Amino acid sequence: MQESHEKALTDPIFSIISQAAEELGVECYVIGGFVRDYLLNRGTAKDIDIVAVGSGIALAEKVASKLEGNPAISVFKNFGTAMIKHDDIELEFVGARKESYHRDSRKPVVENGTLQDDQNRRDFTINALALSLNSHDFGNLLDPFDGIVALEKGIIRTPLDPDITYSDDPLRMMRAIRFATQLNFVIEPKSLQAITDNKARIKIISKERIVDELNKIMLCDVPSKGFSLLHKTGLLELILPELTALQGIEEIEGQKHKDNFWHTLEVVDNICKTTDKLWLRWAALLHDIGKAPTKRFHKKIGWTFHGHEFVGSKMVYKLFKRLRLPLNEKMKYVQKLVLMSSRPIVLAEEFVTDSAVRRLVFDAGEDVEDLMTLCEADITTKNPKKQRRYKNNFKLVREKITEVEERDRIRNFQPPVSGEEIMKAFNLKPSKEIGIIKEAIKEAILEGEIPNEHGAARDFMLKKGASLGLKK
Ligand code: ATP
Ligand code: MG
């Protein structure tokens, strides 16, 4: 007797689909991510894939007519698929199909097929698991490739020859690595080899698709797992050469620098323990990319990476553009964090003065906490004494930030005396003196000579004006 998994199918939607299929006289199954995640106890996914042995679109139409409120169907005729959004569930219907590929495209030639044909075309054995929705064997698991064993053992493998699977649709290489990272699975050696052999095929995949998978890896608990696999298979060098350029340790006259590639991956893992923000994680990934082009050796002082923050922040733009990442405020945020990534470190190494902290808050604005989070994640020293010292220093900087913020509210700095007030006070027309006075007020506040308050700033303005020879 087959074990039944009816428990996975208690949502009333499944009996509605079952009923609809029966009325149309087609067989249908739940397949893919929903089944996988259920069997892994990862909860029930909200996107559910249904295969009909027949027309997926006709089944979707029938299902929609049975659902309360007659939800709209999005039909993709070219793909033979249809989608229904119902409550918080997204149902995707497809007719069972057989696929064959051309070398220059990941879009297959499609013909109608059996359930088994449809399972053959799936990327991984753990994604080819199907549960029957047919009344005579409702809840039965159809597992032609021992996907369940792969689930138990934590293995990513392909239903067919991996060399063909990855070559047909190279996006699967990214997906394999993404699933391995998300589920903490191992990619079987044969598959890993096939990815390595087919890495150059990644060029036929759109940047958007690649970035989708990269972002999913970035949002995992331990993204370094994915990045090491990307590196090992040679994909990373094709996608993010700026990162692989950081790899390696050079030694001249007995002086070495650290391997900035593996250091970066450690920083990313660190930051993932404290933040879920995707773009802060990206900032961690890219914070040192300026180090490859700025690396120099000097006889007296050893290795330096002067200006790597500035160079790195310029590289962020090119990299975002190439990967079709957003070129909006998200990119600017990453650039800013890369540019400022050493500021709190310099601060923490010396005696922390109020004015230095005020300047940091002024420059970082509302991103100052994220910047601190990045710097704390950047501590990868294995020396426990140093580790403690750095952490303590950053704690001090954070305390000072709070203190200075309470007093002076520098974060969203607005000049306490406006240009108009200056013009009125000295009976001026728009002129460069106004700019000079405004800048002097800002400097006096940042230096702590006066508090960030209107009264004090006005007194200061009057004095400054007088010293410039202006008359009230
Ligand atoms: P998740 O939704 O968590 O990303 P998933 O496995 O549901 O995981 P989807 O992209 O939603 O992934 O795809 C649904 C199913 O479609 C997969 O489980 C798999 O069976 C199949 N599939 C998706 N993309 C591919 C592909 N590139 N090649 C072969 N089969 C695929
Ligand atoms: Mg899915």
* Domain termination residue (choose one: 92, 126, 151): 151
- pLDDT, one tens digit per residue, over 234-284 is 999 999 999 999 999 989 988 889 899 999 999 999 999 999 999 999 999
Name the band, by pLDDT with cuts 50, 70 and 90, for residue 307.
very high
Is 147 in the same domain as 158?
no
CATH number of the domain enclosing 113 = 3.30.460.10
* Domain termination residue (choose one: 239, 263, 279): 239
Say what the pLDDT of residue 2 is: 65
82 neighbors 60 (Cβ within 8 angstroms): yes
Beta-carbon count within 10 A of 467 CB: 10
Q: Is residue 64 part of a domain?
A: yes
Q: Is residue 142 part of a domain?
A: yes
CB distance 32 to ligand 1 below 6 Å: yes
CB distance 127 to ligand 1 below 6 Å: yes
Q: Which amino acid is it at 270?
A: N
Structural domain count, the chain: 3
Say what the pLDDT of residue 471 is: 84
CB distance 171 to ligand 1 below 6 Å: yes
- pLDDT, one tens digit per residue, over 401-453 is 999 888 888 888 888 999 999 999 999 999 999 999 999 999 999 999 999 99
Q: What is the pTM of this model?
A: 0.93
Say what the pLDDT of residue 299 is: 87
Is 158 in the same domain as 64?
no
Is 81 in the same domain as 176?
no
Say what the pLDDT of residue 349 is: 74
CB distance 33 to ligand 1 below 6 Å: yes
Between 97 and 107, residue with greater pLDDT? 97
The number of the ligand nearest the C-alpha atom of 123 reads: 1
Report which secondary-structure segment, H or E, holds 204.
Answer: none
CA of 152 relative to ligand 2 center, distance in Å = 20
CB distance 224 to ligand 1 below 6 Å: no
Alpha helices, H only, 67-186? 115-120, 147-153, 162-168, 171-183
Closest ligand 1 atom, residue 172 Cα: 27
CA of 191 relative to ligand 2 center, distance in Å = 22
- Range(s) of the domain holding residue 147: 6-151
Residues ≥6 apart with Cβ < 8 Å to 426: 433, 465, 470, 471, 472
Q: What percent of the chain has pLDDT over 70?
A: 100
Is 120 in the same domain as 181?
no
Q: d(Cα 224, Cα 269) in Å, to the nearest integer?
A: 6
Is 130 in the same domain as 210?
no
Say what the pLDDT of residue 268 is: 98
* Domain termination residue (choose one: 239, 274, 298): 239
Q: What is the mean pLDDT of the chain?
A: 94
The number of the ligand nearest the C-alpha atom of 158 reads: 1
CATH number of the domain enclosing 232 = 1.10.110.30
Report which secondary-structure segment, H or E, holds 90.
Answer: strand 89-95
